[in-house]
Amino acid sequence: MFGAWFRNACIMADYYAFPVWIVVTHFLNMLFILFLARSGHEVLSACPKFYWNDHCTPGREWLRLTKKRFSADPATPWSSLEEEDSWSPVIALPGRKNLGIGRHWHFMSIQFWILNGAVYIAMLFASGYYRTIVPTTWAIFPDALRAIGDYLQLRLPPAQPGLPFNAAQQLAYFAVIFLLAPLQILTGAAMSPAVIGRFPGYAQLFGGKQRARSLHFIGLCLFAGFIVMHTVMVIINGLPNLWTVMVLGHREHPPYTDQGLAVAIGLTGLFGILLLNVVATLVSLRYRRFVQRSLGIVVDPFERLLSRAFISRQHYAWPTSPRTTGSTAIPHPTTTTGPWLRTVSASTASKSPAWSSIRSA
């Protein structure tokens, strides 16, 4: 059975033809997605809870990635500053409660990821290679189900006539490129206070900022699942043949068919991605202000363009309770768009370390 898998995989790998621009954008995509995922974890560590609407009270989150628990009881005041966790630099960029630098890495990476994706899609249609990704018939859905059935029965489904992928692969690539990736960009923008301030109705397209945040996290999980399955499929479809095609493209003459060269270049590229992440983490933790200013060279121009081109239309109220003398209203710690406020006495609020840090800021 496995011998048949390998022979079929070799035939498929011989058919593949990956242009140079696919090889390059594929490599850059790995780099920027890893930066985005790790810096996104740093942003997530500041409030590791997920809600379905902007007016949910503490304790009603649908997912909590922290051991800390808070309630809506005003007896003990607290703020979102107390919710922040310190996550390991192994999973977060840079980790250790560096939200500001993490956001800078995230905003820098997303710009290059979008640029890389735009080049990929432009070349996809300019070269005509889109025919291998974009479905052209509704028959792809039943064909994809049959292909999935073959996988479940430990059989390698054949490629579609005239295409390098089977129906399940083509449908998965199309969904990730043209549905999941745009959804991540759109939901990410719906979490930005600058965007919401200038376009208050935009976040409501997703049901509010908190729902957009939840959808963004689910999208990250789907991306992670796709990457795992994509890697498994590469292994199943035949190594080192498919690896050679993915790294060097498809050519009829050496050195483009040299498997040893492909393995060396591919492993060097993966090591380079890992090394860049290690260096970015260490430098960010050691020279925080330098990294913030350096990343700001890329991040700040876009933010200035947004702030100058559009005027903020969002207004915040800071009311005091009309029934309690000397009381102070504290905004809900997990939502910035909801009206829910907790009112506590000023003497009680002054005892909260987080509230004291807010007053002194």
Q: Which residues constitute the domain of residue 223?
A: 2-46+84-314
For residues 219 and 305, what is the distance between their CA atoms, to the nearest angstrom?
A: 28
In this prediction the pTM is 0.80
Predicted local distance difference test score (pLDDT) of residue 318: 57
* 165 assigned to some structural domain: yes
Amino acid sitting at position 105: W
CB-CB contact of 225 with 350 (8 Å): no
Which pLDDT tens digits describe the chain residue by residue (361 residues)? Answer: 434 433 444 434 444 567 889 989 999 999 999 999 999 999 999 989 999 988 887 778 899 998 888 776 666 777 777 788 899 999 999 989 999 999 999 999 999 999 999 999 999 999 988 988 999 899 999 999 999 999 889 888 888 888 888 899 999 999 999 999 999 999 999 998 888 888 888 999 999 999 999 999 999 999 999 999 988 887 777 667 777 777 877 655 555 567 778 888 888 999 999 999 999 999 999 999 999 999 999 998 888 887 787 887 766 555 544 444 333 444 444 434 443 333 333 344 444 444 343 333 3
* 66 assigned to some structural domain: no
Backbone angle region of 274, left / alpha / beta, with phi > 0 → left and psi within -120 to 50 → alpha: alpha
For residues 89 and 42, what is the distance between their CA atoms, to the nearest angstrom?
A: 9
Backbone angle region of 27, left / alpha / beta, with phi > 0 → left and psi within -120 to 50 → alpha: alpha
Other CB atoms within a 10 A radius of the CB of residue 10 amount to 14
Residue 327's DSSP bridge partners are: 345
Predicted local distance difference test score (pLDDT) of residue 162: 82
Residue 328's DSSP bridge partners are: 344
| Domain of residue 284, CATH code | 1.20.950.20
Other CB atoms within a 10 A radius of the CB of residue 330 amount to 20
CA–CA distance from 247 to each of 17, 169, 251, 258, 325 (Å)? 11, 19, 11, 11, 70
Write out the two tokens for 123.
């070349």
Predicted local distance difference test score (pLDDT) of residue 329: 42
For residues 79 and 180, what is the distance between their CA atoms, to the nearest angstrom?
A: 33
H/E stretch holding 50 reads strand 49-50
* 75 assigned to some structural domain: no
* 361 assigned to some structural domain: no
What is the number of domains present in the chain? 1
* 344 assigned to some structural domain: no
Angle CA(94)–CA(100)–CA(103) in degrees, nearest 5?
Answer: 75
**Would you say the C-alpha torsion 66, 67, 68, 72 has a positive or negative sign?**
positive
* 329 assigned to some structural domain: no
Pairing of strands 49-50, 341-345: unpaired
* 351 assigned to some structural domain: no
CB-CB contact of 167 with 144 (8 Å): yes
* 222 assigned to some structural domain: yes
